[in-house]
Structure 1
């Protein structure tokens, strides 16, 4: 991950954001205590298939790990991504 892959938390909009060349990939969330629900991941059409959403989720995992949160991936993309990345299975809310 390069320095350009900095995922930021935008609490006002309840979403994590990743800026890619002036465009924003984002994942909306709801916090319930230490559980992070991710209902939606969105990438602009021009960024689809570039791995931008995956880099966004890597950043979200790092934030969750640092803050001691677990994740409920409601969004199909997030659920499939977490399923494929075994190194993050410990972050799945039980």
Structure 2
């Protein structure tokens, strides 16, 4: 197995993670007004238990940071991942944190 690859499939408004050339999962987002809202994250059952969800979210959040975007984690998986990795909490505007349970 090769190293998973994450890419921003902007035409589909989602980040995708690929393993050995196969789509293993994705994180759907909505862009607007200097923000990226993560709506839904999904990993194919065939790739479950390999930590791909975390790799996908980390890459997506790193891309948001690089682009200077505020993050709105509406997706429970993304929100939970940020809760476990507090070094990414600064991406979520303070005013939004209490609304989404952070």
What's the TM-score once normalised by structure 2's chain length?
0.82
1:14 corresponds to which residue? 13
Judged with a 3 Å threshold, the aligned counterparts in structure 2 of structure 1 residues 54 and 31 are, in CA distance, closer, same or farther, namely same
Higher Rg of the two aligned structures: 2
Structure 1 residue 68 corresponds to structure 2 residue 62: no
SS at match of 1:12: helix
Paired residue total: 92
Equivalent-residue separation in structure 2 for 1:24 and 1:80 (angstroms): 20
- 2:59 maps to what in 1? 59
- 5+ residue gaps, structure 1, are none
Call closer, same or farther: CA 1:5–1:33 in 2, change over 3 Å. Answer: farther
User: 4+ residue runs of structure 1 moved beyond 6 angstroms?
Assistant: none
Higher fraction of helix: 2
Structure 1 pair 24–86 and aligned structure 2 pair: CA distance change class (3 A): same
Q: So what's the TM-score if we normalise by structure 1?
A: 0.89
5+ residue gaps, structure 2, are: 95-102
Conserved? CA contact 1:35–1:93, under 8 Å: no
Superposition CA RMSD, Å: 1.5
SS at match of 2:90: helix
The answer to which structure, 1 or 2, has the higher relative contact order (CA under 8 A, 6+ apart) is 1
C-alpha offsets along residues 6-34 of structure 1, whole Å, 9 cap, x if unaligned? 32111111101110232331000001121
How many angstroms apart in 1 are the aligned matches of 2:23 and 2:4?
12
